[in-house]
Structure formats: structure tokens, C-alpha cells
Amino acid sequence: MTDHSQQAVVFITGGARRIGAEIAATFHEAGYRVIIHCHRSRHEADALAARLNDLRSQSCSVVSADLNDEQALMTLGEAALACFKRVDVLVNNASSFYATPLSSLTQTQWLDLMNSNARGGLFLAQQLAPALSVNDGSIVNLTDINVNRGMAGFSTYTMAKAALGGMTRSLARELAPNVRVNAVSPGAILWPEHDDNDATQDAEHARILAGIPLGRLGTPADIARTVLFLARDATYLTGQTIRVDGGRALG
Ligand SMILES: NC(=O)c1ccc[n+]([C@@H]2O[C@H](COP(=O)([O-])OP(=O)(O)OC[C@H]3O[C@@H](n4cnc5c(N)ncnc54)[C@H](OP(=O)(O)O)[C@@H]3O)[C@@H](O)[C@H]2O)c1
């Protein structure tokens, strides 16, 4: 196994908050230098970077870009490489998530969901593949178990995550043997922030929990540990998607 964790660099999109921030902290604790990408959460990204740099100096940088902005996307890989002159792991975690009922779906919503969940990861892979291939690098994509289950009202989001799943398998072939490409498919981990705490939401949350064999939500740490496993330890895995869902997808 290649142990490059002492110098290795991980680049995490949407890494300022929630699951992305946990992935950043987990890789940092494992010895990686960390590049946090953010868009709106610059303040949170800077605070997390300051905390990680306090623990180990010059171990964390922040880059920002709106993945809807084509120019910003097409220079984001370069911006990431400029931080530490190498990138060993790309974690495509950024995502927008909201309902798009078919009757009211707009082109803007389609583009926003596709750009953040699928296009961003593809063009970052394009820009970073040469750097990733130098040290047996890898890409880990965050998909969603609802791609296979279907999710009423969320056709665009699930299509975007399905695209990311297809990219995982195709790039696993295309970038082999130098770069491994895998995915983590979370179940219910953190409720969306725009969820209101009203009775309808409570009932919906109870329904979801009742369908999880392990009987609880997952934690961001459950996801982060699996991303680290795929990037650092799983040296003979490529093209795989690991469901981290407490058994929910079993049916
Ligand atoms: N939470 C769950 O239970 C769950 C379940 C299934 C799958 N997942 C997947 O796991 C990953 C992490 O989940 P999460 O709930 O922590 O994600 P999240 O909070 O919904 O989103 C992560 C980040 O994505 C960034 N983002 C969104 N649109 C962007 C854009 N146009 N340009 C740049 N950045 C953009 C945002 O960064 P800024 O805040 O900096 O703008 C946001 O903080 C996601 O890929 C998600 O789809 C999560």
C-alpha cells in the first residue's frame, strides 16, 4: 500500500460545513493536508481552516467558486494545485438539493442541480487527473441511495447523482491504473437545512427512520471514515459505490 498520508493533499468540494467539513477534519487527522472548496460558506471555511492550521501549521487552504460559473469551474483545479503544488485525492462532495416537482421544474433548477452534483466533479476530474496520477491518487464521489430507490419530486437531483454514479464507473476505467475512482452513497445522515420542524416534516422523518434497519440516522463521521477508507486503504477498489445507509436500501 502506498502510504502518502504524511504529505498527501485532499481537495474537498463543498467542504466548509456539514459532511464536507467532517471529511476535511477526518483526512486532516489522518495526516493529510486539506484544501477546502466553498461557495457561500467562506466564513465557515476560513474558521475550519484556522482550526486545522492551529493543529498543524500550513496544513489547510481554502478556495472558492460557484460551480454554476463555468469560468470559475475551469480554473478551480489550477487554484487547488496552487495551494500545495499537488493533489492526491479529489472528493466531489458539493451538492445542491431541493425538490423539483415535474409540474414546476425550470431550466435554471436543472442547470443548478446538474452543475453542482455532476458537471463540477467531471471537470475537476479533467483538470486534476494529471496531478492525481502522479502518486496513485483517487477520486471519491458523494452520490445518494435515492438514485436507485427513486424519490418523488426529486427527479432532477436523482438524475444528477445518477450521472455522478455513471462518471464513477466510466472514469474508473478511463483513469486506471493510475487513479482509482469510487463513490460513497449515503442514506439519511443529516436532514436538509431547509426542512421546517413542523408536523409534516416530523412525520416524514419518522417514516424515513422506520425504514432504516439500524434504526437511526447515520453520522457525518460514518461517511467521512468511508471516504478515507476508499482514498487511502482500498488500493484494489475502483469503480465501486459503497452504500452507507444503515441498511435502508435493502428494501
Ligand atoms: N445529508 C445527507 O443526509 C445526505 C444524504 C444523501 C447524500 N448526501 C450527499 O452527501 C454530500 C454531503 O451532504 P451534505 O448534506 O453535507 O451537503 P450540503 O450541505 O447539502 O451541501 C454541501 C455543500 O455544497 C456546496 N454547493 C452547493 N451548490 C454549490 C455551487 N453551485 N457551487 C459550489 N458549491 C456548491 C455548498 O457550499 P457553500 O455552503 O460553501 O455554498 C454546500 O455547503 C452531498 O453530495 C449530498 O448530496 C447527503
User: What is the tens place of the pLDDT at every residue in 49-78?
Assistant: 999 999 999 999 999 999 999 999 999 999
Provide the CATH number for the domain around residue 199: 3.40.50.720
Q: Tell me, using a 6 A CB cutoff, whether residue 67 lines ligand 1.
A: yes
In terms of pLDDT, which residue wins out, 4 or 31?
31
Q: Is residue 53 part of a domain?
A: yes
For the question of residue 236 being annotated catalytic, the response is no
Q: What distance in angstroms lies between residue 14's CA and the mean position of ligand 1's atoms?
A: 6
d(C-alpha 180, C-alpha 34), whole Å: 19
Query: What average pLDDT does range 132-153 have in this prediction?
Result: 97
Q: What distance in angstroms lies between residue 93's CA and the mean position of ligand 1's atoms?
A: 6
Q: Is 68 helix (H, G, I), strand (E, B) or coil?
A: coil
Q: Is residue 1 part of a domain?
A: no
Q: What distance in angstroms lies between residue 1's CA and the mean position of ligand 1's atoms?
A: 31
**Whether pLDDT at 1 is above 50:** no
- For residue 177, whether the previous peptide bond is cis, meaning omega lies within 30 degrees of 0, is yes
Q: In the chain, how many domains are there?
A: 1
Q: Is residue 81 part of a domain?
A: yes
Q: Is residue 238 part of a domain?
A: yes
The DSSP secondary structure of 87-104, one letter per residue, reads --EEEE---------GGG
Its pTM stands at: 0.97
Q: Give pLDDT tens digits for 170-183.
A: 999 999 999 999 99
**Whether pLDDT at 3 is above 70:** no
Atom of ligand 1 nearest to the CA of 40: 41
Sheet holding 60-64, edge to edge: 60-64, 33-38, 9-12, 89-92, 138-142, 180-186, 241-244
Q: Tell me, using a 6 A CB cutoff, whether residue 68 lines ligand 1.
A: yes
Q: Which residues pair with 182 in a beta bridge?
A: 140
Q: What distance in angstroms lies between residue 21's CA and the mean position of ligand 1's atoms?
A: 10
Q: Is residue 3 part of a domain?
A: no
Q: Which of 35, 95, 204 to mutate to test the pocket of ligand 1 (most atoms within 8 A of CB)?
A: 95
Catalytic residue selected from 32, 98, 157, 236: 157
Q: Give pLDDT tens digits for 155-168.
A: 999 999 999 999 99
* Cα separations in angstroms, 165 against 140, 168, 198: 11, 5, 33
Share of the chain above pLDDT 70, in %: 96
Q: Give pLDDT tens digits for 122-142.
A: 999 999 999 999 999 999 999
Q: What distance in angstroms lies between residue 96's CA and the mean position of ligand 1's atoms?
A: 6
**Whether pLDDT at 5 is above 60:** no
Q: Which of 13, 38, 39, 159 to mutate to test the pocket of ligand 1 (most atoms within 8 A of CB)?
A: 39
- The boundaries of the domain holding residue 223 are 9-244
pLDDT at 200 (0 to 100): 84
Q: Is residue 250 part of a domain?
A: no
Q: Count H helices, E strands: the chain? A: 9, 7
Q: Give pLDDT tens digits for 177-206.
A: 999 999 999 999 999 987 666 788 899 899
Share of the chain above pLDDT 90, in %: 92
Mean pLDDT of the chain: 96
**Whether pLDDT at 41 is above 50:** yes
Q: Is residue 203 part of a domain?
A: yes
Q: Which of 19, 40, 217 to mutate to test the pocket of ligand 1 (most atoms within 8 A of CB)?
A: 19
pLDDT at 6 (0 to 100): 55
Q: Tell me, using a 6 A CB cutoff, whether residue 189 lines ligand 1.
A: yes
Q: Is residue 164 part of a domain?
A: yes
